[in-house]
Amino acid sequence: MSQADLHLPQQSRFTETSRRDKWWLVPLLTFLGLFGFVVYSTWAAWQGANYEFDAYLSPMYSPLLFEAGTNAAKEWHLAHGSHHALFGPWPSWLGWMPAWMPMSPAFFILIFPGGFRLTCYYYRGAYYKAFWADPLTCSVGEPRKKYLGEQTWPLIAQNIHRYFLYAAILFIGVLTFDAFRGMYYSEDWQGKVVFGEGGAGFGIGIGSLVLIINVFLLGGYTFGCHSLRHLIGGKYNLFSRHPKRKVAYECVSCLNAQHMLWAWCSLFWVGFTDFYIRMCASGVFTDVRLF
Ligand code: FES
């Protein structure tokens, strides 16, 4: 039987390709989306203020360990006992922090959601392509010849993802609590009724819905994690002997099938939730109480 060698086209120069489609569009959009979120979240964390508005707390500052910032809401909450800060006002033992660094409670917690996203299987593939161009995409020339892989330093550290998963599940619990608390308004801190006549007590405002949607999207992203899928059913060969595991595995698999969609929607909504609360706290938006 005769044999013939089939020579596939080898791209040798960076971005060299015979593709005719818009292969650069997805990496470009990914780059813009992730870069935009990093810029916004860094800016928001750096503010150290306007992260809470009455019953609402920004997910970028939750759980809130210490109260900080200089806005009117913070003054009011400190005077009345903050209902968000777990350990009260900014402690004096943190006085060692350099003066150029703002008193921002976000610095204490962002490592956990940030680390979870950074090491996520989906995001890894996405930012390797969009930021390092390695690989840029199929059949397009790469900037380097050597494959780094994830079995040696520094990328072997990505295996820490499973540990960030445990923290992420705890954060879902915290944010769920925040969403419920966002439906119980305190008395008005600005000297006027914020959420319609009556002010205090149970009610649903636009901000409450924003917080609930945030938990829903983050839950869809977190509970569709590849590591969680492995944790729940990865070691079983015969699911018929573990019916409860089978159901849980199928639920995670169902979310996992759309992991990229959950990843982007939840990323966008976390940023929007912070933005909405920030705008309300700074007096730009007026939160409407629906009932
Ligand atoms: S793989 Fe994406 S969150 Fe775990």
3-class secondary structure for 101-139?
CCCCCHHHHCHHHHHHHHCCHHHHHHHHHHHHCCCCCCC
Regions of the chain short of the pLDDT cut 70: 1-2, 6-11, 69-83, 185-200
Residue 189 counted as domain residue? yes
Nearest CA to ligand 1 atom 2: 120
Specify burial of residue 45 (Cβ count, 10 A radius: 0-12, 13-18, 19+).
buried
Residue 134 counted as domain residue? yes
Which structural domain range is residue 250 located in?
Answer: 25-281
Q: What integer pLDDT is reported at residue 197 of this predicted model?
A: 39
Q: Ligand 1 center to residue 76 CA distance, Å?
A: 39
Query: Which tokens in the block code for residue 119?
Result: 């090491």
Residue 213 counted as domain residue? yes
Number of domains in the chain: 1
Q: What integer pLDDT is reported at residue 78 of this predicted model?
A: 59
Q: What integer pLDDT is reported at residue 188 of this predicted model?
A: 53
Q: Determine the atom of ligand 1 nearest the C-alpha atom of 116.
A: 3
Query: Which residues have a Cβ under 8 Å from the Cβ of 265 and sit 6 or more positions away?
Result: 217, 220, 221
Model pTM? 0.89
Pocket residues: Cβ below 6 A from ligand 1: 120-122, 161, 225-227, 259
pLDDT in tens, 73-109: 556 555 655 568 888 778 888 888 888 888 899 999 9
pLDDT in tens, 43-63: 999 998 889 888 899 999 999
Query: Which tokens in the block code for residue 158?
Result: 């990505």
b/e sequence 177-212, b meaning 16+ C-beta within 10 Å: ebbebbbebbeebeeeebbeeebeeebebbbbebbb
Q: Ligand 1 center to residue 226 CA distance, Å?
A: 5
Which of 227, 230, 260 should be mutated for ligand 1, with most atoms under 8 A from CB?
Answer: 227
The residues facing 205 across adjacent strands are 289
> For the chain, what is the radius of gyration of the CA atoms?
23
Q: What integer pLDDT is reported at residue 209 of this predicted model?
A: 96
**What is the end-to-end Cα distance of the chain in Å, rounded?**
79
Phi/psi of residue 184, nearest 5 degrees? -120, 100
